[in-house]
Amino acid sequence: MANDIQAGAAPEGLQGVAADYSADKQAFPVPWGKAMMWIFLLSDTFIFTCFLTSYMNVRISTTVPWPHPSEVFALDVGGAHIPLLLIAIMTMILITSSGTMAMAVNFGYRRHRGYTTALMLITAALGATFVAMQAFEWTKLIVQENVRPWANPMGAAQFGSSFFMITGFHGLHVSAGVIYLTVVALRVWNGFYDRKGTYETVEIAGLYWHFVDLVWVFIFALFYLW
Amino acid sequence: MSQAAEHVHAQGQQHPIKIYLWIWALLFLFSIFSYLVDYFDLHGALRWTLILTFMIVKASFIVGVFMHMAWERLALKMAILVPPLALLILISLMAIEGDYTFVTRLAAFVAR
């Protein structure tokens, strides 16, 4: 609550930046957990960018043709051959889960315990569905299409290593998020944050979840569509 | 603005649900657009421009509205959004390096 004292008087724009950093108070008028989550997500941005940059580098430098993702990830449904179908469904699921998470944060600040818990559990369930579909995708690729991190029948060997490293690390983030959201949801339900007096933890968990969705936006564009 | 900022700090980030539903719908729309780029099998500069444009639009919606960055103070925005710009240098260097490796490989074991 010490945050509230100076907030009204603080100047905006670059003047505000100078005032926030130089005044005798904490620089960011947000809960410390939120600032720390942002810093963590910043470091995670660097990790994922390093992965995507290494993928870009091997894809540029290989002399063997790169496998066509649109065909590799196509599915046959009732005789029809639909490119990237599974990936499109996974994208929609993750966006939907981001929407339910945003609503959960909103209802958290309105102190609707029931709605917040339900929306967070729906978000976690959608996340678990995403991981399950990813497991299906990996199984199909390894068992049926013989893709390995060191070789594959479709073209450049680097395809497998890039794919398993990038989607594997993202899937790990989603799995961790599902556990994180479930723990916070149960604490919302048993009234932990009502006793604590603030629902900021729900927003912080939300930041992590939206980041996972954000990373998928980049993977979808740069790996699957490029 | 300062009154609005005070309100935000007192209550945490609280905004009308309508904004979230709008952004949610727009994210769906732009995902469908990016999928259609592949579905219609567009190629070359047009494909890459469209993919990157839709990607950046979606990323801005998520960071700006869902992660509430649009309502944070400039000091926090700058602390989080400026450092990743250094990555553009890494990406450019690795693209140049990749091109060099490609040409070296062509000269070493494809031309022979």
Q: Based on the fold, state whether residues B11 and B64 are members of the same structural domain.
A: yes
Cβ contact (<8 Å) for A206 and B58? no
Tell me, what's the pLDDT at B4? 46
Reported as a single tens digit per residue, the pLDDT across A192-222 is: 999 998 899 999 999 999 999 999 999 999 9
| Domain carrying residue B43 | 2-73
Torsion-angle region of A45 (φ positive above 0: left; ψ -120 to 50: alpha; else: beta): alpha
Q: Based on the fold, state whether residues B13 and B68 are members of the same structural domain.
A: yes
- ipTM for this model: 0.88
Reported as a single tens digit per residue, the pLDDT across B17-43 is: 889 999 999 999 999 999 898 888 888
Q: How far is CA B30 from the centre of its chain?
A: 12
Reported as a single tens digit per residue, the pLDDT across A167-195 is: 999 999 999 999 999 999 999 999 999 99
Handedness of CA A180, A185, A187, A188 (dihedral sign): positive
Sequence-separated (6 or more) residues with CB below 8 Å from residue B111: none
Question: Beta-strand (E) ranges in chain A?
Answer: 75-77, 80-82
Tell me, what's the pLDDT at B5? 44
Fold of A30-225: Four Helix Bundle (Hemerythrin (Met), subunit A) (1.20.120)
Cβ contact (<8 Å) for A53 and B1? no
Closest alpha carbon to A104 in A179, A167, A185, A186: A185
Q: Based on the fold, state whether residues B45 and B67 are members of the same structural domain.
A: yes
Q: Based on the fold, state whether residues B58 and B102 are members of the same structural domain.
A: no
Q: Based on the fold, state whether residues B51 and B87 are members of the same structural domain.
A: no
Which of A3-7, A65-69, B40-44, B95-99 is least confident? A3-7
Out of B11, B79, B94, closest to residue A53 by CB: B94
Q: Provide the domain count of chain B.
A: 2
| Partners of residue B50 in chain A, C-beta under 8 Å | none
Q: Based on the fold, state whether residues B69 and B90 are members of the same structural domain.
A: no
Tell me, what's the pLDDT at A24? 82
CA pair distance A36, A49, nearest whole angstrom:
20
Q: Based on the fold, state whether residues B41 and B88 are members of the same structural domain.
A: no
Cα distance from A6 to chain B (closest Cα, Å)?
A: 9
Question: What is the value of pTM for the model shown?
Answer: 0.90
Query: What confidence tier does A158 reach under pLDDT thresholds 50, 70, 90?
Result: very high
Question: Which of A202, A217, A223 to mutate against chain B (most B CBs within 10 Å)?
Answer: A217
Phi and psi at residue B81, to the nearest 5°:
-90, -20
